[in-house]
A and B are shown apart, each in its own frame.
Chain A
Amino acid sequence: GESVGLHLPTLSVQEGDNSIINCAYSNSASDYFIWYKQESGKGPQFIIDIRSNMDKRQGQRVTVLLNKTVKHLSLQIAATQPGDSAVYFCAEKSGNNDMRFGAGTRLTVKP
């Protein structure tokens, strides 16, 4: 069936560097995408979202890019900080259907 998946299960970056977390989706009907951050012992926390009529959306230190041609989503974190260490999930939604999550990428920030 359709699924949302991540390219890399782990990512390690140096503090201050930029991080890029990637996600592939296969449901061409998906029209809403969300990135979540999950820290140990907590529920997923909303970071940023993007609708399918957009290619790029920026937040505070984060940017989400959507490439519908290749069904690819990425999350860019600028000047990565130790507090950014967490598991990051992409999720996709189609209409009023349920929200489906990717496998997650663990980001580790080295001081």
Chain B
Amino acid sequence: KAGVTQTPRYLIKTRGQQVTLSCSPISGHRSVSWYQQTPGQGLQFLFEYFSETQRNKGNFPGRFSGRQFSNSRSEMNVSTLELGDSALYLCASSIGQTRGDGYTFGSGTRLTVV
């Protein structure tokens, strides 16, 4: 079966712009989580969506937002980009109904802010 698909794979944006990243989970998975990965901070949790509702949220400023659609696909948006937003953005999907569900990650979107 198809894995987690993230688009685009690479993105270059200018400081001050906004960006939207997309994540299509594994079919049947209802939970999508987003992470930011940087060399200095490692993998940091952004937010999790389950059945179109934000279930958990990390400690990121309001410039970072997300949503989930009825088909479980999710988007995250970053407004007023800063140089420090340059990172690999990963999404992970799971069935999301029990605490022990495995998470499957996509390959990520590499965002570079110049």
Given the interface contacts A43-B90, A49-B102, A89-B43, does A97 sit within 8 Å of B107 by beta carbon? no
In the complex, chain B residues whose CB is within 8 Å of the CB of A32: 99-100
The 8 Å CB contact of A104, one of B42, B92, B107, is B42
B33 adjacent to chain A (CB < 8 Å) = yes
Residue pair A44, B33 in contact (C-beta under 8 Å): no
In the complex, chain B residues whose CB is within 8 Å of the CB of A97: 56
Whole-angstrom distance between the Cβ of A19 and the nearest chain B Cβ: 20
Map CB proximity to B onto A14-34 as digits: 1 under 8 Å, 0 otherwise: 000000000000000001101
Map CB proximity to B onto A97-111 as digits: 1 under 8 Å, 0 otherwise: 111111110000000
Map CB proximity to A onto B91-110 as digits: 1 under 8 Å, 0 otherwise: 01000000110111111100
Classify chain A's interface size. Answer: 20 to 34
Whole-angstrom distance between the Cβ of A23 and the nearest chain B Cβ: 13
The 8 Å CB contact of A99, one of B33, B106, B107, B108, is B33
Whole-angstrom distance between the Cβ of B9 and the nearest chain A Cβ: 10
Residue pair A43, B108 in contact (C-beta under 8 Å): yes
Given the interface contacts A43-B108, A98-B45, does A49 sit within 8 Å of B100 by beta carbon? yes
Residue pair A46, B102 in contact (C-beta under 8 Å): yes
Which chain B residues in 23-52 approach chain A with CB under 8 Å?
33, 35, 42-45, 48
Given the interface contacts A32-B99, A98-B56, A98-B58, does A43 sit within 8 Å of B106 by beta carbon? yes
